Structure 1
């Protein structure tokens, strides 16, 4: 593939994937576990720092092994083909398509709401609209890498602008003296270790996507320079926006009101934007579509690289002859996502699979530590302090174990068994 992703395109890919519907709809998971406003803000800041640490760790191993596919080539080099295959298997069959399906359904619900006059849109209409969204992002990603990155840049700018409008509304409310909800910010019961872990788990959902540039590193212009710059620029921007957006929310509602609100941004819009309240659903649709585009863009690169290494069918390693896009891999991701839209009853199951992503995040940072020990003199265009990947590894263990310990259910065992079931395909069709 050609190197057509610029620094701005790289920042847009990270920002466009990270800023989804969560910051508009329901950022209350953090506050519920924090117990107080001050502790909640500290957890939000901690989530931004931890995501930045993870992204910097990925930048080091990504420039050491400058291959697309995210965690796949790193796990392959460090721990061999089986962990790499299990990552590709889980991501291709469940994680990436389910993410695209859920995002498209969210877009459909918000886009159709005005046509139904505040009534719930019919299930069939939502599914048809979601399929239309998936087909649109498939077409854009198959048509051209340049076209995809241009769309990502436009939608990322729109996402930032939408949060800036909310932040400006918050500044206006602060200027009017609406600061009562910030008084005694740390009053309330201090969160314990369990609550802090669960708060981080909720907050990091909003930061999910910090590793997206590693999926397309072979298409990034001057990756040794642009990868760390894009990571730092995107993480600082998103963390700052999230913190200020949360401040804006609390200029109009108390902690209790925020926890009771079904859609925090909508409540904020009702109280601040007046006749312009309609822009909130537009913001959500704009944001979610951009995230769909970024998710589909990176998902195809996983199965493309895995197929190139002989782990999947060679068809998936093919590029469009003229457009130089991994069209078969992109089409596979979209096809599975459409199949997941049809039943529309897999939301709970996906929650149980999502903890597995932090298994792979932790394994990738462990690979960095392994390379530091095994290959101390290997060229590293980017080198982070050793404490950074250690912190990410510890956090990954906590984030994997926290939901299982807090609410142990048989579904986690099913999710783990599904991941390991990939070996039933690996040994006969790959190893042998």
Structure 2
């Protein structure tokens, strides 16, 4: 029934034959008028359905819950000023994140295939031809790195071992983690999934145990070997009046705190990148994503509650990124806390790197299949290990460069911030694209349909996040030594570069060369379908 209902999405059925890799089929001309960005008649990358509900759940939760829960609450409390307002900001941020998740869920159920935003932008914006694909490809190649959590893993591993590393040792361990993960995911598919599942469950257990231990110690007034517990806010101080004391109702401060909460939920749509490998993709999207949101929200709430119960609020405000360390020291003492806390962060960071690498490799493979990366056959194929080894390599190279080349400090932090701005532009385009699809194809089957006010609220949030970097901070002084909005300007520059690149190779060069870009379909030896972009002369 579902297959028949979704037939309007597909191109007319075409017969294909498996051919040796590298051999070209007879061209199948695709004109501008007939071009559709969702060629389901062409087989995708061939994978077994290795992701069950549990694996899909960890893929999302481990992507969302990183090392930030140990660091960001301190700065959020400092901005909000009070317990009540802090918890309210987390609640509002969770609701806003749910709006974004609803958009991704509608897309994932409507177009259940790997690729995530790449697939959605191509379907929503088929004109100008190839523009959406080109922009996604530029972003994947230039900004497709996983550096921050690799660096965090290295930093806290050395800290737990009481080793003072050189900058070279610091970078080598980070690159070593990324290399090991790339090899595991590229050679041992099931082993990689197993390891990232284990790390994900360990992460959930650690954060849950940390939060519940703090609450348990305070409520039962337990004293013993768990360190010096002097509750910063006794249970009695959680009265309605006291929790709102010293609240900062400044929109500037609250918006900063709100955006940090919003970014804490980044990755809720991670499963959309790998739907070709999921059992029952529509059912998984409809159940795993809300469950992951509920899990992350609950753990975030419990962690914040534990902070407030164990640590005086003034210490939380001045803790910066050390609020997690303060909690561990108070619960477990200086010696045990000094080891347990950095290990918890290192495990959390490693799990995040695993799931991000797993998902982005599939996105890179989808980009290669559509002809927007060089060495298309090699990068699209699942040979020799039944994995997206080519996509992993495309992800690995920029990540190693970002970790290894820039010095630690402002330049490194700037590169990491740079990734977020074009991503927010893509999020806005995906959300607006959903409204366009609803208008253009109102009868399209939608197993899940997002609430319309949630979609418009997501549009508003995206616009605010795009404008905020240009609002001058106090004294016009940002977190780095150069202009505070530099990363946003460079992000816009990369988008403009992508548009110029697209215009040159799809408009100017064909016009001067007297040819037209056509699409040619091919099936590789492993069963993967690809689209080659060829020059057709004399048209």
TM over 0.5: yes
* Number of aligned residues: 427
Moved more, 406-415 or 36-45: 406-415
Question: What is the CA–CA distance in structure 2 between the aligned matches of 1:416 and 1:315, rounded to whole Å?
Answer: 31
Could you say which residue in structure 1 is the equivalent of 2:41?
Answer: none
Question: What is the CA–CA distance in structure 1 between the aligned matches of 2:385 and 2:418, rounded to whole Å?
Answer: 37
Question: What is the CA–CA distance in structure 2 between the aligned matches of 1:419 and 1:141, rounded to whole Å?
Answer: 30
Q: Which TM-score applies when normalising by structure 1?
A: 0.93
Question: What is the CA–CA distance in structure 1 between the aligned matches of 2:204 and 2:322, rounded to whole Å?
Answer: 19
Q: Displacement of 1:315 after TM fit?
A: 4.1
Q: Is residue 468 of structure 2 the alignment partner of residue 409 of structure 1?
A: no
Could you say which residue in structure 2 is the equivalent of 1:254?
Answer: 312
CA contact (8 A) 1:316 1:329 kept: no
Could you say which residue in structure 2 is the equivalent of 1:376?
Answer: 442
Q: Secondary structure at the match of 1:370?
A: helix
Deviation digits for residues 55-81 of structure 1 (CA, Å, limit 9, x no counterpart): 221111122122211111111111133
Q: Secondary structure at the match of 2:328?
A: helix
Q: Displacement of 1:21 after TM fit?
A: 0.9
Deviation digits for residues 203-248 of structure 1 (CA, Å, limit 9, x no counterpart): 1222111121111111111111111111011110111001101110
**Correspondence for 2:340 among 257, 279, 283:** 279
Could you say which residue in structure 1 is the equivalent of 2:183?
Answer: 139
Question: What is the CA–CA distance in structure 1 between the aligned matches of 2:194 and 2:173, rounded to whole Å?
Answer: 23
Q: Displacement of 1:406 after TM fit?
A: 4.0
Could you say which residue in structure 2 is the equivalent of 1:210?
Answer: 268
**Correspondence for 1:309 among 348, 356, 370:** 370
Q: Displacement of 1:176 after TM fit?
A: 4.2
**Correspondence for 1:40 among 52, 70, 86:** 86
CA contact (8 A) 1:174 1:251 kept: yes
Question: What is the CA–CA distance in structure 1 between the aligned matches of 2:314 and 2:171, rounded to whole Å?
Answer: 34
Q: Displacement of 1:316 after TM fit?
A: 5.9
Q: Secondary structure at the match of 1:68?
A: coil
CA contact (8 A) 1:315 1:328 kept: no
**Correspondence for 1:196 among 254, 269, 277:** 254
Q: Displacement of 1:377 after TM fit?
A: 0.3
Q: List structure 1 runs of 4+ shifted beyond 4 angstroms.
A: 428-432
**Correspondence for 2:172 among 128, 131, 152:** 128
Could you say which residue in structure 2 is the equivalent of 1:12?
Answer: 58
CA pair 260-220 structure 1, distance change in 2 beyond 3 A: same
Could you say which residue in structure 1 is the equivalent of 2:243?
Answer: 185
Question: What is the CA–CA distance in structure 1 between the aligned matches of 2:457 and 2:378, rounded to whole Å?
Answer: 36
Question: What is the CA–CA distance in structure 2 between the aligned matches of 1:115 and 1:152, rounded to whole Å?
Answer: 23
Could you say which residue in structure 2 is the equivalent of 1:297?
Answer: 358
Question: What is the CA–CA distance in structure 2 between the aligned matches of 1:348 and 1:82, rounded to whole Å?
Answer: 27
Question: What is the CA–CA distance in structure 2 between the aligned matches of 1:368 and 1:24, rounded to whole Å?
Answer: 35
CA pair 26-190 structure 1, distance change in 2 beyond 3 A: closer
Deviation digits for residues 377-429 of structure 1 (CA, Å, limit 9, x no counterpart): 00111112212211111111112212222445344212210222123433445
Q: Which has the larger radius of gyration?
A: 2
Unaligned runs of 5+ in 1: none
Unaligned runs of 5+ in 2: 1-45, 222-230, 474-483, 511-539
Q: Which TM-score applies when normalising by structure 2?
A: 0.75
Question: Root-mean-square deviation (CA), in Å?
Answer: 2.0
CA pair 406-210 structure 1, distance change in 2 beyond 3 A: farther
Question: What is the CA–CA distance in structure 1 between the aligned matches of 2:390 and 2:194, rounded to whole Å?
Answer: 22
Question: What is the CA–CA distance in structure 2 between the aligned matches of 1:420 and 1:326, rounded to whole Å?
Answer: 30
Q: Secondary structure at the match of 1:300?
A: helix
Q: Secondary structure at the match of 2:447?
A: coil
**Correspondence for 1:331 among 393, 418, 421:** 393
Q: Is residue 462 of structure 2 the alignment partner of residue 418 of structure 1?
A: no
Question: What is the CA–CA distance in structure 1 between the aligned matches of 2:491 and 2:445, rounded to whole Å?
Answer: 38
**Correspondence for 2:298 among 233, 240, 260:** 240
Q: Is residue 428 of structure 2 the alignment partner of residue 362 of structure 1?
A: yes
Deviation digits for residues 37-95 of structure 1 (CA, Å, limit 9, x no counterpart): 2111111122222222212211111221222111111111111332342133223321x
Could you say which residue in structure 2 is the equivalent of 1:77?
Answer: 123
Question: What is the CA–CA distance in structure 2 between the aligned matches of 1:344 and 1:225, rounded to whole Å?
Answer: 43
Q: Is residue 230 of structure 2 the alignment partner of residue 172 of structure 1?
A: no
**Correspondence for 1:63 among 78, 102, 109:** 109
Question: What is the CA–CA distance in structure 2 between the aligned matches of 1:88 and 1:256, rounded to whole Å?
Answer: 46
CA contact (8 A) 2:103 2:450 kept: yes
Deviation digits for residues 182-210 of structure 1 (CA, Å, limit 9, x no counterpart): 45111124423332321121112221111
Q: Secondary structure at the match of 1:185?
A: helix
